[in-house]
Structure 1
Amino acid sequence: MSVIFLIIIGAAAGFLATRLMRIEADIITTMAIGIAGALVGGLVLRGLLAVMGMLAGLVGAVLGAIALIWIWQKITNR
Structure 2
Amino acid sequence: MVIWLIIIGAAAGFLATRIMHVRMGVVETVLLGMAGAVIGGLVLRVLITVTGALAGLVGAVLGAVLLIWLWQTYVRRK
Which residue type is aligned with residue 74 of structure 1? T
Which of structure 1's runs of 4+ aligned residues deviate more than 6 A?
A: none
Say which SS state the counterpart of residue 77 (structure 1) adopts: coil
RMSD: 1.0
Unaligned runs of 5+ in 1: none
Rounded to whole Å, the distance in 2 between the matches of 1:71 and 1:28 is 63
Matched, 1:27 2:19: no
Matched, 1:46 2:18: no
Give the TM-score taking structure 2 as reference length. Answer: 0.93
Give the TM-score taking structure 1 as reference length. Answer: 0.93
Rounded to whole Å, the distance in 2 between the matches of 1:5 and 1:77 is 63
Give the count of matched residue pairs: 77
Q: How much does 1:53 deviate?
A: 0.5
Unaligned runs of 5+ in 2: none
Provide Cα deviations, 1:28-53, integer angstroms capped at 9, x if missing partner: 00001100000000000000000000
Query: What is the percentage of aligned positions where both structures have the same residue?
Result: 62
Q: How much does 1:4 deviate?
A: 2.3
